[in-house]
Amino acid sequence: MKKLYEKWAGRPFDRDTVSDLLKLATPIFVYAPIYLIWFIWIEHHRFSHYAIIHTQLDDLIPFVEAFIVPYYMWFLYVSVTLLILMFSFEVEDYYKNFFFLATGMTIFLIISTLFPNMHHLRPVVMPRDNLFTHLVLGIYKADTPANLWPSIHVYNSIGTMIAIQRSRRFNKTAKVIGHIIGASIILSTVFVKQHSVYDVITAFIMATIFYYVFYHTSLVESFCRKRQEQVAYRYN
C-alpha cells in the first residue's frame, strides 16, 4: 500500500509527507466543526418566520424517487474529490476547491440564519413503495424542508466538477464520469423534491461568481502558488 501511494503521489511517504498532509488538512479540521455546529443549530432552531420558496416550474417537475441514488452520492462525490487533491499534493487545486466550497457553505449558513426559508414540495404520501422511496423517506427524516436556499448540493457539485475538470489527476474518462455524476446530483435535488428550481438557479449564480473569484483573481492565484511552491521546495 505504501509503495502504491508513493508511486501515485510521486513522493516518499515519510515524516515530511505526513507533516505536509496535516498542514493541508488543517483548514478542513478547523472549518468542518464550525459548519456542522452552525448547521445543526439552524436545523433545530425554530425561527419565528420562514420565507416560502416556490416557483411554477417546481409544480411541473415530477417526483422521481430513483434520483435519490445520486442525491446520496453527493456526500462522497464532494469529499473524496477534495481528499484526492490533498493526498496527491495538487496543492493549488486543493486550496481553490476548498475555498470555493467553504465560501459557498458559509454564505448558505448566513442566509439561513438571517433569512430562514423553507418549501412545501415534498409529497405528502409516497406514490410508490420501493427501495428508492424508503431512501427518500430517510433523507426527509434526517433533513428538514427548511434552510435550503441556495442549494449546497448544487453549489458544491458545481465546485467539484470544476475541480475535476481542472485537475491533472483525472484523465478524460474520469472527468466524463465525474461530470455525469455531478449533473445527476444537480438534477436529483429537484426530482426528489429536496430543492426548488429557485435554489438551483441561485446556486449556479453563486458558483459562477466564486469561480471567477477563486480561479481568476491574482490574490488567490498568488496564495495558492506560494503554497504549492512551499510543498515542492520542502519535498526537493
Instruction: For residues 111 and 105, give the distance between their C-alpha atoms in angstroms, rounded to a whole number.
Output: 10
How high does pLDDT run on average in the chain? Answer: 92
Tell me the whole-structure pTM to 2 decimals. 0.92
According to the model, what pLDDT value does residue 7 have? 84
Strands (E), the chain: 51-52, 117-118
According to the model, what pLDDT value does residue 87 have? 94
**Which residue, 132, 160, 145, 128, is CA-closest to 58?**
145
According to the model, what pLDDT value does residue 14 have? 87
Q: Render pLDDT for 178-196 as a digit per residue (tens, 0 to 9).
A: 999 999 999 999 999 999 9
Q: Counting beta carbons within 10 angstroms of the beta carbon of residue 14, is it exposed (0 to 12), middle (13 to 18) or buried (19 or more)? A: exposed
Average pLDDT, integer, range 164-184: 95
According to the model, what pLDDT value does residue 132 have? 97
Average pLDDT, integer, range 33-49: 91
Residue 233 has pLDDT above 60, yes or no: no
